[in-house]
Amino acid sequence: MQLLLAVATSEFWPNNPMRRLIQRVSPAAAPPLPSLLLVAAVGVLLVLAAHRSSFFDTTSAWSGARRPSRARNSTTAGGRVPKGCDLFRGEWVPDGGGGGAPYYTNRSCPHIQEHQNCLKYGRPDRGFLRWRWRPAGCDLPRFDAAAFLRSFRGRSLAFVGDSLARNHMQSLMCLLSKVEYPKDISKTPHSEFSTMLYESHNFTMAIFWSPFLVKANKSGDQWHLHLDEPDDAWLAGIPGFDYVVLSAANWFTRPSMFIEAGRVVGCHICLVPGVADLTLRYSQRMALRTALRALTGVFNGTVVLRTLSPTSHFEGGEWDKGGDCRRTRPYAANETRMAGLDLDMHTVQVEEFARAKVAAAARMVLMDTTAAMLLRPDGHPSRYGHWANQNVTLYNDCVHWCLPGPIDVWNEMLFQILLPD
């Protein structure tokens, strides 16, 4: 049991080893060799974990859950921001409590992944729940579950990506649990490919596991990324959905060979003679380009590209060297700025989004959450994603987000984004 937890926890592990390194490296340059070796070593640890059964571990929580209560009346909920307001530039301000955040608890929401159930595992402070995101040019309305379900009646939404896509979807299910619990109508027993139906609103939500978005294949400790072949695990399922939220970033830090047209064209931390280390900046860019091109070729709904969740919140060490995120309040906007790997990956996403949009028939929206989340080092599970256990080494999680927690803002933003122009 303890071992399982350790494995499952590390399954979705990040690239935090990169943090230090990144601050020393200029955006275009390849990392220096000692860092490469460090990252390679960590990468080996990362890929050891292949256990996925806890992806949607919700059944156990059901028993203790209350049935949904009726939606809370809030005069500020469910509104629409003025056209032209940039939702993604702003600051976190103390929540006056007008709408009663947090929106849900681990009792009202049965969909919280164990490792993000921070209060269950003893997180002592609650202050991280009492902030709201205020865009510079307008107010972001509170999440109104009833309005959301009403607005998207008969519609379907797909999340595609890694465990942060799952974190996002579980936040949305928790927010909606005020009004309705979904029925699991998944076609496969694999929880990474779940489909949920909100029967009384005929709203469908699904998740497709594809951490690289392109075909990927693990051989030994190394991933083989087919950078010019979209991953059919999601692409084949997407037509017919109205909205798709695409995201990917963290897994590109793992050691990988890059394959194009069936040939090895380079790698990230492979240390194979004759194979150029093109760095993860190359694989992330090419994979995203391939995914967006393929998607816009088969899909005529709304494409949302969510930018990366910061990889840089570990302090005091790397993820496996005692690094942790113990802050209890957000940064002010002048206390941090996007840098290093976060900045590089973000730049790639913004550029590839713009490139795809020019050519796309689909409606495309960039969900640019990185800057807002960069200010929330206080929103991660840290060591409260599990009980302390003396027999196994469990790492601090500064990558995923507690539920409830700041990630709930992604759905306040998503609601605004999905509303038709």
Ligand X SMILES: *[C@@H]1O[C@H](CO)[C@@H](O)[C@H](O)[C@H]1NC(C)=O
Q: Write out the catalytic residue numbers.
A: 163, 397, 400
Q: Which of 9, 113, 117, 283 binds ligand X (CB under 6 A)?
A: 117
Q: Which of 51, 52, 72, 120 binds ligand X (CB under 6 A)?
A: 120
Give the ranges where 152-248 is alpha helix by DSSP (H): 163-176, 232-235
Q: What is the spatial distance between Cα 254 and Cα 381, in angstroms, rounded to a whole number?
A: 22
Q: How many CB atoms lie within 10 A of CB 211?
A: 22
Which burial class, exposed, middle or buried, applies to 75 when counting CB atoms under 10 A from its CB (0-12, 13-18, 19+)?
A: exposed
Q: Does 124 bind ligand X (CB under 6 A)?
A: no
Interface mask (CB under 6 A) for ligand X, residues 23-52, using x and -? ------------------------------
Give the ranges where 238-318 is alpha helix by DSSP (H): 279-298
Least distance from C-beta 34 to ligand X, angstroms?
A: 28
Least distance from C-beta 88 to ligand X, angstroms?
A: 20
Give the ranges where 156-209 is alpha helix by DSSP (H): 163-176
Positive or negative, the CA dihedral 26, 32, 38, 44 is positive
Q: How many CB atoms lie within 10 A of CB 62?
A: 10
Is the Cβ of residue 120 or residue 355 nearer to ligand X in the bound state? Answer: 120
- Give the footprint of ligand X on residues 358-387 (CB under 6 A): none
- Give the footprint of ligand X on residues 229-268 (CB under 6 A): 239
Q: Are 287 and 227 in contact (CB under 8 A)?
A: yes
Q: Does 2 bind ligand X (CB under 6 A)?
A: yes
Q: Which of 334, 358, 388, 393 binds ligand X (CB under 6 A)?
A: 334
Interface mask (CB under 6 A) for ligand X, residues 312-331, using x and -? --------------------
Q: Which of 18, 119, 238, 407 binds ligand X (CB under 6 A)?
A: 119
Is the Cβ of residue 53 or residue 300 nearer to ligand X in the bound state? Answer: 300
Structure tokens at 284: 């992330």
**Stretch binding ligand X (CB under 6 A), from 12-20, 115-123, 177-185, 303-311:** 115-123
Q: What is the spatial distance between Cα 11 and Cα 122, in angstroms, rounded to a whole number?
A: 22
| 267 bridge partner residues | 257, 277
Q: Rounded to an integer, what is the distance from CA 122 to the centroid of its chain?
A: 23
Instruction: Output b/e per residue, 273-307; b: 16+ Cβ within 10 A.
Output: eeeebbbbbbbbbbbbbbbbbbbbeebebbbbbbb
Q: How many CB atoms lie within 10 A of CB 76?
A: 12
Q: How many residues line the site for ligand X (CB under 6 A)?
A: 22
Q: What is the spatial distance between Cα 200 and Cα 180, in angstroms, rounded to a whole number?
A: 8
Is the Cβ of residue 120 or residue 329 nearer to ligand X in the bound state? Answer: 120
Q: Which of 4, 136, 272, 332 binds ligand X (CB under 6 A)?
A: 332
Q: Which of 219, 273, 388, 420 binds ligand X (CB under 6 A)?
A: 219
Q: Does 300 bind ligand X (CB under 6 A)?
A: yes
Structure tokens at 356: 């795809």
Structure tokens at 71: 């939606």
Q: Does 69 bind ligand X (CB under 6 A)?
A: no
Q: Does 75 bind ligand X (CB under 6 A)?
A: yes
Is the Cβ of residue 224 or residue 321 nearer to ligand X in the bound state? Answer: 224
Interface mask (CB under 6 A) for ligand X, residues 137-156, using x and -? -----------------xxx
Structure tokens at 6: 């350790």
Least distance from C-beta 205 to ligand X, angstroms?
A: 11
Q: Which residues contact 27 (CB under 8 A, 6 or more apart)?
A: 281, 343, 344, 347
Q: Are 107 and 174 in contact (CB under 8 A)?
A: no
Least distance from C-beta 38 to ligand X, angstroms?
A: 25
Is the Cβ of residue 2 or residue 23 nearer to ligand X in the bound state? Answer: 2
Least distance from C-beta 325 to ligand X, angstroms?
A: 19
Judged by the rule CB under 6 A, the positions of this chain that interact with ligand X are: 2, 61, 64, 73, 75, 106, 117, 119-120, 154-156, 202, 217, 219, 224, 239, 300, 332, 334-335, 391
